[in-house]
Structure formats: C-alpha cells, structure tokens
Structure 1
Amino acid sequence: MSVIKTDRTAEMETFLSVACTGSLSAAARELQLTPSAVSRMMTRLEKRLGVRLIVRSTRSLRLTSEGESYALAARRILKDLDDTELTIANRGSPRGKIKVTTATAHSRLTIVPLLKEFLQRYPDITLEIDVSDQLRDVASGQVDVAIRFGQLPDSGLHARRLGDTGRVVLASPEYLAKAGKPQTPADLARHNCLDFNFRRIEPGWPFRQNGEDFMLAVKGNVIANNGETLVELAQQGIGITRVGRFHVQQALASGQLVALLEDYNPQDREAIHAVFIGGNNVPTRIRVFVDYLVEKMST
C-alpha cells in the first residue's frame, strides 16, 4: 500500500495564513492557491489531527481552542526552521534581524549606548528594539531576546545573567521641603508614594528594621508601568518613589533627587538576564548578541 507523504510545513503555513486573514479565500489569494485547495488542505489537517481547528460560517471564521494551540505551536516551529536554516547558511557571518525587548530606562541608559559597537562588529545584523516595561512573550516568538529584571519563572527558555541592580527610595528636595523627610518606613503613611502598577506576589515596598525584613503597603495618587515616568514625577516634586538605582545615579549625584530611608534599605538586588529560546540551534545572530551583552555588562 502506498503512503502519501504530508507536507506539514505547507499545512502550517496555510493554516496560519487562514488564521491571520480570517478567510479561506483571502488565504488562497495570499498563497496563490485556489480556495478549494486551501479548503482541502484544512480538511485533511483536521482529519489527521482528529480535532476541529476552525469553525466556519457564511460570514466569519474563528479558531477553536485547539486551533489557537496549533497556531501558537506552528509559529514556533516555522520560526525555529527559519532560524536553523539561517544559522547554517550564515555560520561565517551572522546576519538577519534580532527582535529585542528591554525596559524603557534600561534601554536608554544601558542598552542603546552599547549598540553602536555591536552593529559595527556585525554589519549584516539588523536590530528591532521594542522599548517597553511590559513583558513580551519570548516563547511564542514575539521577540528573540528579552532583557528581564528579577526572578525568572520556570520555563523552557534559556537565560544568561548580565548583572544586577539595587533599588532606592527617593524624592526631590522640593517635595521634602514641602512634605517633610520621612525618618522611618512608617512615616510613608503620611506621604504621596508613586508606585509601579505591576502585579506582585507581595504588594508594597520592602524594608529591613531591627534585622527583620517586611513589606510596607504604600499609597499615592499615581501609578505607572515604567520607572522613567516615576522618576520624572519624583523630580517634579509630586511624591516619593522606589526605583532601580541605574535609573537615578546621575540625579542622586547632582542632588536633583535625594535617597531616603537608607538605614532601612534591605539591599535587595534584582538580577538582570537576557532571556531567549535555548537549545542546540540558537541562531548565530542571537548567540553573538547575547555574548556581546554579557561581555559589556558583566564587567
């Protein structure tokens, strides 16, 4: 009995085109196939998997939960295939695009100043920088490399440590002249505390008093999703905030901002990692970029 070999790569590409365009006919135009060919391919795929991936009506098309899972896996598989081929084809000269995501302040103060030399070393590499304090999904292929702060969750991703940073509570001299300088963590109850809006396991700011660490809930009239905003508001005299020291080294040295409650600082450190999809087939362009960050930031 003859065996019909299935081109699974073509099926994945076709399925993703259907999912992205929202119709079989649009996918057919994009792939330069007939609508009937696309329809047969989707029917064959669902039959082989034994599940419904797409629900079709006369006017719309939507993915089932199984379809969503298959789409996520297909994107990763096709990206891995592209990366593997690119790695093999360009072992001698890394080339291609690297999508990098990094926090707003860390990008401006640390990452961007390093990029000129990297691009001079590897002129055939293109960088696409996503500057945001929101987390991007490395596992799904949204980005190639993510610069992450703090403890990393368990995952199948690979990580290289780039360094670490401490945190500091601070305010402007203008604010302190108006509201007074807190002498103990408990005094923060009388102050306008500007905080991040990220969900934490333990909400609040950590302090150490009499050898004991504790979390103190704080309140204020502004929360933000990035440290740059909090530092700017603190410089304007709006309130007290707590951010990574790398944000404010120059402002502290110049006196534009004043460190507070240092005797109660728990000296907690946040590790900084480059996170990427690991394994034996890490594309050369990604490997050399991460190696470069380690070289420059770990010294």
Structure 2
Amino acid sequence: MDNRIGDMETFLAVTNGGSFAAAAKALRLTPSAVSRSIARLEARLGVLLIQRTTRSLALTPEGESYRDRISALLAEVDAVEQSLGQAPAGPRGPLRINASVPFGIHCLLPILPPFMEAYPAVTVELSLSDALVDLIEERADIAIRIGPLRDTRLRAKKLGHSRMVLVASPAYLERHGMPDEPGDLVRHDCLRFSFRRSVDSWPFRINGRVVQRPVDGPFFGNSGEVVRGMAIAGGGIARLARFHVAADIAAGQLIEVLAPFNPGDGEDIHALYDGHQRLALRVRAFLDFLDRDLILAD
C-alpha cells in the first residue's frame, strides 16, 4: 500500500535524528523498516535525498529542498486535522527550553506556572546556562537568545528588546558617591563580565555622540546573575539589561546611574526553534504563550 505521508514522516525523523537508528527509535520501527521507507521514497521521487557514508548521513541539495517543503506540507495536514477535531486533544509531551540564567530566573520562571496549569499534559524541562549551547545537540525545543543571532539553521521569533542600564546599590553610592558624568567612573569599582571580550569599556552618549569610556574594577562575574548579585551586595556599578534589574530598581535595591548619558543601546530577545521539523503543538503553544504573557522591561 502506498504510504506517502508515512514515508515523509520517516524522512523527517531521519533528518531530525541524524541517523536511521535514531529515527527508528523515535518512530518505534526497526532500522531496516526505516531504510526501506527511505529507499521507497527515493525510488518514487527518482532522486537521492540522503548521502550515506559508513559514519554519517548528509542531505543532498534535493534532500534539503524536499525537507523544507514537506515540513510545511505536514504542518498543514496537522492543522487541517486539528480544525476537524481529529488531532490529539491539546499539546502534550516534554517541552525542553534553554535560556540564559537571568532571563530564566526573572522572565520565564514567573510565567511558567500559569503555562503548566493551562497545559497540564506538557512536561517542562528548563535548562539555564549563560554559555551558548547548540539547540540541536542539546535536543532543546526552544532556546531563548539575547543579542545577535548566529545560527542560521533555526527560525527565530522576536520576543522583545531590552536596553542596557548602569545600576548600583544605595549602600555603595552612599560610600562612594553618585557619579555625575562618565569620567567619574575612574574612581568607582565597575563590575565586569569574564565571558565577554569587550569588558574594559562602556558606551555613553556625550555631546550627541556615542563614545566608549574605559572602566575598571576588582571583580569579574561569569554570568549576569552573578554581577547583579554583586551589585545588590554593594560591590560596585554594573551594566545590565533592564529586564534583569527592573524589579530591583522598583524595590529600591538598585538605583540607575548616569541615566542622562545612557546611549539607548540594548539587545533583541528571540525564541529560536528548529524550522525544519513540524512544529509540535506544545512548542507552538509555548511560543503563543510567550507572545501573550511575556512582559519585558525596556
């Protein structure tokens, strides 16, 4: 019997899993059944879709084109069945999310409980790390990225934008005084990052131009959350995204510093996901939830 949809789904499982064995495990088939399905598909199309070697698989140009087109096609099939009430009832299954530590703590954790209440059949696995991880290798469904996007294999949904601010604790400012202009920072302890290259200068708008001013201090932190904690503890002046410290400013734990010289720079925030596979209902539900419920302080 001709099972074109089944062969398409098997092909996508192979491209997503990277091997016939991984696809067989995901589909609960034998590797030989997966191999036969791909061979049948290639014979029907009259082209080679997957270049096989003894150690790896690679898509041919025809395979890449076919993958992109059938991903959209199968997503439309799912949408049609869902509209007719024939799809499984609601999102379900594991949802793996990767984000930076600050974004996860201050933006995701507050809104995850209502999401989980709305979708009780979804199991959320949240992984927080300030190191950039490979979404495909980590098997994450969604990765939240702050700043420039580098991975062109993934689709991106912009969640918002957050500008950078300088902040310090009331206790630190009481001891060291409030800086009146960027040049005053030479007499202050500036809290810097150890995982970025450009940590020795901060931008300021002075006389209508954005200029870099050198900063120095005895402390480096390997994450935004570490630097924020040090600022709250009175260790110095930090430069952080406003979403990260908005609640601290509102609570009086941190005070914005040198606001008239803020150049207005910031970073875009995106949700990344694999655009080459059919978007699972649980992934689509979370993306829609972020659209509706995520609030970012700019």
TM > 0.5 fold call: yes
Letter in 2 for 1:187: D
Q: What is the aligned counterpart of 1:136 among 117, 133, 136?
A: 133
Partner of 2:39: none
Distance 1:201 1:226 in 2: 15
SS at match of 2:272: strand
SS at match of 2:180: coil
- Pair 1:50–1:120, CA change in 2 (3 A): closer
Q: What is the aligned counterpart of 1:254 among 251, 254, 266?
A: 251
- Pair 1:219–1:158, CA change in 2 (3 A): same
1:51: how far off? Answer: 6.0
Distance 2:283 2:273 in 1: 8
Please state if 1:198 is matched with 2:205. no
Structure 2: gaps of 5 or more residues? 1-9, 24-29, 31-49, 59-66, 79-85
Q: Is the 8 A contact 2:185 2:215 kept in 1?
A: yes
Please state if 1:101 is matched with 2:98. yes
Please state if 1:164 is matched with 2:161. yes
Distance 1:153 1:114 in 2: 27
Q: Is the 8 A contact 1:136 1:143 kept in 2?
A: no
Please state if 1:110 is matched with 2:117. no
Partner of 2:227: 230
Distance 1:238 1:298 in 2: 29
- Pair 1:201–1:258, CA change in 2 (3 A): closer
1:91: how far off? Answer: 4.8
Q: How does 1:205-284 map to 2 (within 5 A)?
A: 205-279=202-276, 281-284=278-281
Q: Is the 8 A contact 1:139 1:157 kept in 2?
A: no
1:129: how far off? Answer: 0.3
Question: What TM-score comes out, normalization by structure 1 length?
Answer: 0.68
Q: Is the 8 A contact 2:96 2:126 kept in 1?
A: yes
Distance 2:21 2:159 in 1: 40
1:111: how far off? Answer: 1.1
Please state if 1:173 is matched with 2:170. yes
SS at match of 1:113: coil
Partner of 1:56: none
Letter in 1 for 2:129: S
Aligned residues: CA RMSD: 3.6
Distance 1:279 1:15 in 2: 17
1:280: how far off? Answer: 6.1
Structure 1: gaps of 5 or more residues? 1-6, 17-31, 33-47, 54-66, 71-76
Partner of 1:149: 146
Letter in 2 for 1:122: Y
Between 199-208 and 210-219, report the one with greater CA deviation. Answer: 199-208
Partner of 2:19: 12
Q: Is the 8 A contact 1:224 1:230 kept in 2?
A: yes
Q: Is the 8 A contact 2:96 2:141 kept in 1?
A: yes
Letter in 1 for 2:237: I
- Pair 1:218–1:92, CA change in 2 (3 A): same
Alpha-carbon displacement from aligned partner over 1:215-263 (angstroms, at most 9, x marks no partner): 2332222222322211211121111111112222232233322211111
- Pair 1:280–1:11, CA change in 2 (3 A): closer
Q: Is the 8 A contact 2:193 2:199 kept in 1?
A: no
